[in-house]
């Protein structure tokens, strides 16, 4: 499994934060990012349960730490 240096396709923190603020783009970029990293189960969970809770977690994590929340990165 490859580790990402920056979230959302290697974009800068500001661009990633802008993408994370918009719910649809955060969901879409999150799904693509999980599949790109090889976390198939996390991508499927993101598709099914990628609603408001995951969006809020990603947004808070992006603001505080500069990266999206990866609560299922191992699977």
Query: How far, CA to CA in Å, does 47 sit from each of 5, 11, 59, 68?
Result: 23, 22, 17, 16
Residue 2 lies in a domain: no
Report residue 1's pLDDT band, with 50, 70 and 90 as the boundaries.
very low
Q: What are phi and psi of 49, to 5 degrees?
A: -110, 20
6 pLDDT band, cuts 50/70/90, is low
H or E stretch at 68: none
Q: How many domains does the chain have?
A: 1
Between CA 26 and CA 57 the distance in angstroms is: 11
pTM of the model: 0.70
Judge whether 1 lies within some domain: no
- 75 in a structural domain: no
* Range(s) of the domain holding residue 30: 7-65
Sequence-distant (≥ 6) Cβ neighbours of residue 17 within 8 angstroms: 62, 63
């Amino acid at each position: 499994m490859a580790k990402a240096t920056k979230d959302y396709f290697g974009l800068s923190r500001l661009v990633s934060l802008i993408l994370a603020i918009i719910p649809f783009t955060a969901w879409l970029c999150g799904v693509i990012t999980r599949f790109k990293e090889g976390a198939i189960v996390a991508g499927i969970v993101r598709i099914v349960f990628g609603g408001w809770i995951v969006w809020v977690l990603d947004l808070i994590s992006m603001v505080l730490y500069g990266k999206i929340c990866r609560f299922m990165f191992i699977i």
